[in-house]
Structure formats: structure tokens, C-alpha cells
Amino acid sequence: MKLSAIARTVAVAALAGGLAVAMSTSSEAQGKRIKWKMASTFPGKLVQLGTGGKRFEALIKKISGGNIQMKFFEPGALVPAFGVFDAVQAGSVDAGWSASGYWVGKIPAAIWFTTVPFGPRGSEYLAWLEFGGGQELWDEIYAKQGLKAVPCGLLAPEASGWFRKEIKSVEDLKGLKMRFFGLGAQVMQKMGVSTQLLAGGDIFPALERGTIDATEFSQPAIDLKLGFYQVAKHYYFPGWHQQSSILELLMNKGKWDALTDQQQTQIKTACGDNIQYMLAEGEAIQLPALKELQSKGVKIHRWPDSFLAQLKEKWEEVLAEQSAKDADFKRVAESLNAFRAEYGKWKNLIYLQ
């Protein structure tokens, strides 16, 4: 064999070997193709809360080139809306589209990773999660339950609630039965309101039947779709209990740990894109929805500053009580509040008041 022929043979062999190594490395990075079931707390057609989950379903498939597929399942299709936590923890469902605040009965500190009364706006919340130790606390607390959560959606501020009758004084609240979420429910209880937590699809029937007198749920664009205006005509702002709300992609930790670095990065990337999209969408669609609600006879109210001051005073009481009951709750509260105290110096300096 001539030298040039030998050289060509060696070169071809080297190229083939290099391609084999590259393909092997690429295959290892991509990992085993996964097809997960993702149970949702929110109906897929519900603006933002559900559509955000459906968007993530399509986005992760596209980003991963089909290597990661998470099929969105409606509430009740696999498990009830509030059964997502248990199913993912047990591994009978791979992932869940929900919000950590629904799991306070199991993890009191979980509420801090969704929203808290008089809490931060979206940008400040994300800053704490990414750079203030929030995500590390979230990971640590969830790991004890065999879970992993990635922030995957962000809602703009919510409304304060729907009432059948106008609230002219604090006395008008006493004795009301109201659907309320999170720690805000405990604040309202201190104001004399009897609260209960209902899934989104259960609220209108309860309001219509008179099982509850009032409700809060979300933003105008979301509340409009749920039809609360048909029963209650008085709509109150601002949403002191939810200035922003984080949605989570909840996963079984064992299954998360089994993913490759590339797969985990693809999931985080898809969730990051979902966060910016949902926040932008949420800020853009509220005014048209509010105008439509007004056209249907809804009266818009803003709580007076004196009323908000009373709510904040009651929130401070709830914060102290819950911190005394649960060590993790106290740790997360102290972390976020310390971050906000420092952040506030920058916020007051740079933002228009």
C-alpha cells in the first residue's frame, strides 16, 4: 500500500473514531428520553394559571428536541387538584404543575415560595430566589419530602377579592364566609372572616349557592373567565395578599436526580422563558379584562389606606405566630425579610415612588 493511501486510511479511521466518541458523548448528555406525566392543579384553558402549564408542555419538548416530554393532565384526570403533592412525592405521577402555597398543611414554609401578604413584586422575588438564598432553602426543605421544585411561572399582582355587598367598614367583614388562599386567609380570619380554601373550579358553584359570601382568586383576566361577576359585583384592589405569585414545576426528586445535566438545564431554561412570558402577558391583559368586567356592571373599589394598615398589622401578628410554630417557616421568613430590608435601600434610591 502506498504511503498516501495509508495516510488516508488512518485519517478516515481517526475521523470515524472521533465521530463515535462525539456521538457517544452527545447521547450521554441527552440521557434517556423521558416521557413524564404532569398533573395540574389548574385547568389547562384557565388564563395564565393553566395556559402557562400548557405552554411549558410544548416548550420543553421543543427545547429538548423531543428528548423531554411532559404531558399535561387536567385536574382530576390523574389526581384531584390538591392531590398533586402526594402523587409526585409517591412517584405515581412524575411531575406537577401547581403552586407551593397549596402544600402549607404539609410544609408550612412552602407558602414563602409562592406569595406572602405585603410581599415583594416579581423582580424582587426572583432576585431573592436566585441571589438571596431562596432557592437553596426551597431545595433543602423540599428534599426532606423527596421533592424538587423549579420556579416555572410568575403572576403579576392579583385583585383583593369579590364581594356580594360593598364593604364600607371593617365591621362589614365580620361573619362573612370567604374563599381565601395562603397566609392571607389567616389575616382575614383576624378581621372576623371565616375562610376556606377551594380549587378554582369549585369557587363559582359555592358562590352561586351561597356556601360562601365572597372570594378571592387571581387577576381580572383570570377571574373574568371564572364568572365571579355573575354573582358578586364588588371587586376590590389592591391584592395586598399577593403582590406577585410564583408557580412551580414540582418533580419527584429521585426522577429529577436521574436526569442528565443537560436535561436539567433544558427544564430550567424552559421554565425561565415561561416566567418572563407569563409576567409580560399578565401585565398586558389586565386592563382590557377590567374594562369588560365594568361593562358587565362590576364596581371597582380600592381599599382605603387605613384599611390596608389594619390588614398589615394583622399580618405581622400572623407572621409572629407562625414563626413561633415552625422552624423552617421562621428561617425562610427571616431570609426573605432580611433580603428585602437590604433591597429596599436600592429600591428607594433608584425607583420612582
Model pLDDT for residues 26-35, shown as the tens digit of each residue? 545 567 999 9
63 contacts 266 by C-beta, under 8 angstroms: yes
Bigger pLDDT: 2 or 79? 79
Indicate if 184 and 310 belong to the same structural domain.
Answer: yes
Q: What pLDDT is attached to residue 341?
A: 96
315 with 169, same domain: the answer is: yes
Q: Quickly state the pLDDT bin for 235 (edges 50, 70, 90).
A: very high
User: Residue 12's pLDDT is what?
Assistant: 43
pTM, two decimal places: 0.87
pLDDT at position 25, please?
A: 42
In a domain, 100, yes or no: yes
Same domain, 141 and 97: yes
Whether residue 235 sits in one domain with residue 143:
no
Q: State the pLDDT at residue 28.
A: 55
Does residue 5 have a pLDDT over 50?
Answer: no
Q: Which residues contact 37 (CB under 8 A, 6 or more apart)?
A: 70, 71, 73, 78, 93, 94, 95
| Largest separation between any pair of C-alpha atoms in the chain | 102
Give the pLDDT confidence of 13-26 residue by residue, as tens digits. Answer: 444 444 443 334 45
What does the pLDDT look like over 250-264, one tens digit per residue?
Answer: 999 999 999 999 999
- 262 vs 24: CA distance, rounded Å: 14
Residue 106 has pLDDT above 70, yes or no: yes
Q: What is the pLDDT of residues 157-167, one digit of tens each?
A: 999 999 999 99
Question: Who has greater pLDDT, 239 or 2?
Answer: 239
- Report the distance separating Cα 233 and Cα 34, nearest Å: 47
The answer to whether residue 341 is domain-embedded is no
Looking at residue 62, its pLDDT comes to 98
Q: Are 89 and 211 part of one and the same domain? A: no
Indicate if the pLDDT at residue 90 is higher than 60: yes
73: pLDDT strictly greater than 60: yes
Judge whether residue 154 has pLDDT over 80: yes
Structural domain includes residue 333: no
pLDDT of residue 30: 66
Report the pLDDT value the prediction gives residue 29, as an integer from 0 to 100: 59
- The predicted-structure confidence for 267-319, as pLDDT tens digits, reads as follows 999 999 999 999 999 999 999 999 999 999 999 999 999 999 999 999 999 99
Is the same domain home to 197 and 80? no
Judge whether residue 132 has pLDDT over 90: yes
* Residue 335 within a domain: no
Residue 100 to residue 248: CA distance in whole angstroms: 7
Spatial distance between the Cα atoms of 312 and 160, rounded to a whole number of angstroms: 14
The total number of structural domains in the chain stands at: 2
Confidence grade of residue 353 (pLDDT, cut at 50, 70, 90): confident
Same structural domain, 135 and 248: yes
87 and 142 both lie in a single domain: yes
* Residue 133 pLDDT class (50, 70, 90 cuts): very high
Report residue 259 CA to chain centroid gap.
Answer: 23
In a domain, 10, yes or no: no
Query: Which of residues 228, 257, 284 is at a domain's end?
Result: 284
172 and 222 fall within a common domain: yes
Q: What is the CATH number of the domain that holds 43?
A: 3.40.190.170
Residue 114 lies in a domain: yes
Q: Which of 230, 253, 284 is the last residue of a domain?
A: 284
Same domain, 136 and 82: yes
The reply to whether 12 falls in a domain is: no
What average pLDDT does this structure show over 133-145? 98
Do 202 and 317 belong together in one domain? yes
- Give the whole-angstrom CA distance, residue 211 versus residue 81: 20
Residue 183 domain-assigned (yes or no): yes
Q: What is the pLDDT of residue 123?
A: 95
Mean model confidence pLDDT for the chain: 92
For residue 179, what is the domain's CATH number? 3.40.190.10
What is the percent of the chain with per-residue pLDDT over 70, rounded to a whole number?
91
Range of the domain at 238: 161-242+297-326
Asked whether residue 47 falls in the same domain as residue 167, the answer is no
